[in-house]
């Protein structure tokens, strides 16, 4: 058992805070997470958090920055080595699913943030991330169409929406079942229907 030192340098404390929030988001509605919840999870008093973050919103902001960076870089790395666009799409899909299975709080926070009214900074971070994500999808989908792997008449915008929706559907399913493990099991089947929907039809 690794014991927890009471004093941590500011940067490590901030990292630990981000981790605690993601952890909590896996257990309860993100908007129900209080600063006391976070502090208790870290073995700190509530006020101590405000040594490292000026506001609660800035904590959220740090969490979302960390999450979006990690997700994008992991998904990028997974798609990199693949030789065909479809293989790259599948690798992206499965990596995204892996990420979500390991950190079930992440999609909850992302979706929850999108629901907030107005134009908050955390919300903008999520919008920027999904924009980058969609860019990668578009590139792969266009490449797939160009080299005849995907249906020539495919609308890439629509295909990108459905890609993200497929993941979202699996997340919703796991919320319904109250069990994150299902998501990994069902992911390959979902992707294979999706692939069938976008790929060029092979000769009979």
Residue ranges that bind DNA, judged by CB under 7 A: 5-10, 13, 33-36, 43-48, 50-52, 54-57
**Positive or negative: CA dihedral 89, 91, 92, 97:** positive
| Beta carbon nearer to its own copies, 65 or 173 | 173
* Non-local CB neighbours of 34 within 8 Å, separated by 6+ positions: none
| Beta carbon nearer to DNA, 30 or 104 | 30
Among 20, 200, 29, smallest CA distance to 109 is for: 29
Rounded Cα–Cα distance for residues 39 and 107 (Å): 22
Question: Rounded to the nearest whole angstrom, what is the least distance from the CB of residue 70 to its own copies in the complex?
Answer: 20
Query: With CB cut-offs between 5 and 8 Å by kind, which of its own copies, DNA, none does residue 204 bind?
Result: its own copies
Local structure of 53: helix, strand or coil: coil
| Beta carbon nearer to DNA, 46 or 84 | 46
The two structure tokens encoding residue 119: 């134009």
Among 22, 182, 26, smallest CA distance to 104 is for: 26
| Beta carbon nearer to DNA, 38 or 129 | 38
Among 160, 169, 171, 49, smallest CA distance to 103 is for: 171
Asked if residue 53 lies in contact with residue 61, where contact means CB atoms within 8 angstroms, the answer is no
Binding mask 23-62 for its own copies (x = CB under 8 A): ----xxxxxx------------------------------
Number of chain residues interacting with its own copies (CB under 8 A): 47
Site residues for its own copies per CB under 8 A: 27-32, 108, 111-112, 114-117, 127, 130, 151, 154-155, 157-159, 161-170, 172-173, 175-176, 186, 189-190, 193-198, 201, 203-204
């Amino acid at each position: 058992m690794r014991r927890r030192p009471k004093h941590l340098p500011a940067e490590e404390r901030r990292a630990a805070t981000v981790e605690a929030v993601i952890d909590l988001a896996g257990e309860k509605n993100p908007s129900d997470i209080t600063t006391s919840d976070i502090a208790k999870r870290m073995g700190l008093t509530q006020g101590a958090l405000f040594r490292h973050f000026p506001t609660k919103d800035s904590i959220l902001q740090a969490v979302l920055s960390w999450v979006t960076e990690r997700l994008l870089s992991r998904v990028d790395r997974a798609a990199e080595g693949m030789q065909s666009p479809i293989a790259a799409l599948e690798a992206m899909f499965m990596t995204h699913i892996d990420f979500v299975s390991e950190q079930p709080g992440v999609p909850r926070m992302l979706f929850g943030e999108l629901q907030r009214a107005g134009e908050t900074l955390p919300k903008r971070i999520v919008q920027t991330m999904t924009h980058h994500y969609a860019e990668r999808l578009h590139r792969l989908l266009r490449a797939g169409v160009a080299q005849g792997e995907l249906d020539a008449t495919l609308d890439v915008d629509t295909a990108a929406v459905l890609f993200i929706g497929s993941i979202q559907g699996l997340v919703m399913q796991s919320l319904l079942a109250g069990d994150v493990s299902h998501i990994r099991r069902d992911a390959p089947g979902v992707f294979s229907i999706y692939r069938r929907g976008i790929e060029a039809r092979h000769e009979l």
